[in-house]
Amino acid sequence: MQKIEIDPISRLEGHGKIAIFLDDAGDVAEAYLQIPELRGFEQFCVGRPVEELPRITPRICGV
Amino acid sequence: MPDKFKFAFMPSASCGGCEIAIVDIDEVILKVAELADIVYWPTALDFKDHHLEALPDGSITVGFFNGAVRNDHDVHHAKLLRQKSAFVVAFGACAQMGGIPSLGNFWTTEELAHRMYDTVPSVNNPEGTRPQLKYDAPEGELTLPRAMDRAYALDQVIDVDYYLPGCPPQVKWIVAAVEAVASGELPPKGTVIAGTKAVCDECPRERSEEKQVTEFKRIHLVENDPEKCLLEQGIMCCGPATRDGCEAACVTAGQACRGCFGPTDNVNDMGAKLASAIASITVADAQEEADRILGHLDDPAGYFYRFGLAKSMLGVQRGEFKPEAE
């Protein structure tokens, strides 16, 4: 099966890649979006003073 | 030197704020365009790895790398940028010293993943599905980069020539860096392109000769006097240990400094420097009194290493892993 991979997805903040599989007729059989990034905001925000979070969570996405 | 310089902007474990900072130079971008061709910038234009791989080694004048190094794909990108660039600039707090993502270094990557994929309230994942490095989908194989054991600063992975600090870097220092390249008057290798003093030195707030703190308070519990030093009002501020050059932007806006420009010169560990600064202004006659005052400093790890845990001498400190407590 032919595979078209778009890696990285450009012109955006964040990280992503797309895999598109084509069948014998050249039609899309399946497409996958993958997010290849791990930073851990879900954990390292826990326990911080709540008034500090407006200065931490904007760094999830700064665009 | 070539007729026209070549610049590359490489994103990594970052938020995109550094890329916005580049755009924030406004009309100066036209001067940059006159001066240099941008040969790689996937956040703004449709560049792929093969575009960078196809360039001759050392042909990029300056490679700007933003973000921490968090997975093996980031490592590959860092090494590739190094190979292709005459100079590499660690652009922004994450590349300089790990940044916010390195706050995760208090935990193992497995602990972070456990939180993210198993227990965070917005996730429903009873089967415990995790990202796989290789996945055999019915149509073919899918792969993901391998997360490293922690977040690294860029110079822990490759040789770095200069540092442009800040979260995000400030326009005037980006312009200063570009002008240095244009004029050929480059500072010594390893220079942090920013101020050389502490944030307190350019802070407009009044401070007394001898700071005396008898209590630390959270900022919303204080009638914050906009004219007075925040530390003297008992509000934790990282200004004494933080490199200047931001024109005390946060402090001027009524928020305490959190150290995004990193430590001043000749400081090995920002947290140690801050602990020392805090100790020198805390007034206590007895240990119990010191304990009481410092006990109100709620989150010293989060204050002292907000942007720079990857570069701390602490290395990696592990949190206690208690999945059943979630």
Who among B45, B112, B218 is closest to A40 (CB)? B112
Identify whether residues B136 and B214 lie together within a single domain. Answer: no
Predicted model pTM: 0.93
Whether the ω angle into residue B168 lies within 30 degrees of 0, i.e. cis, is yes
How far apart (Å, rounded) are the C-alpha atoms in residues B186 and B59? 18
Identify whether residues B24 and B83 lie together within a single domain. Answer: yes
Q: Which domain, by its residues, includes B54?
A: 5-100+151-183
As a whole number, mean pLDDT of residues B234-254 equals 95
Q: Is B16 within 8 Å of A61 when comparing Cβ atoms?
A: yes
Q: Is B70 within 8 Å of A38 when comparing Cβ atoms?
A: yes
As for how many domains chain B has, the answer is 3
Identify whether residues B214 and B159 lie together within a single domain. Answer: no
Identify whether residues B173 and B82 lie together within a single domain. Answer: yes
pLDDT digits 0-9 by tens, B178-236: 999 999 999 999 999 999 999 999 999 998 877 788 889 988 888 889 999 999 999 99
Q: Which CATH number do you get for residue B15?
A: 3.40.50.700
Q: What residues of chain A lie within 8 A of the CB of B17, using their CB?
A: 58-59, 62-63
Q: What is the ipTM of this complex?
A: 0.94
Identify whether residues B117 and B40 lie together within a single domain. Answer: no
Identify whether residues B113 and B88 lie together within a single domain. Answer: no
pLDDT at B322: 43
Q: What residues of chain B lie within 8 A of the CB of A47, using their CB?
A: 299
Q: Identify which of B7, B153, B10, B1 has the alpha carbon closest to the alpha carbon of residue B77.
A: B10
Identify whether residues B160 and B232 lie together within a single domain. Answer: no
Who among B20, B112, B218 is closest to A49 (CB)? B218
Who among B16, B47, B167 is closest to A10 (CB)? B47
Best B23, B73, B103, B115 member to test A by mutation, with max A CBs in 10 Å, is: B103
Instruction: Name the band, by pLDDT with cuts 50, 70 and 90, for residue B28.
Output: confident
Q: Is A37 within 8 Å of B100 when comparing Cβ atoms?
A: no
> Given phi > 0 = left and psi -120 to 50 = alpha, else beta, which region is B250?
alpha
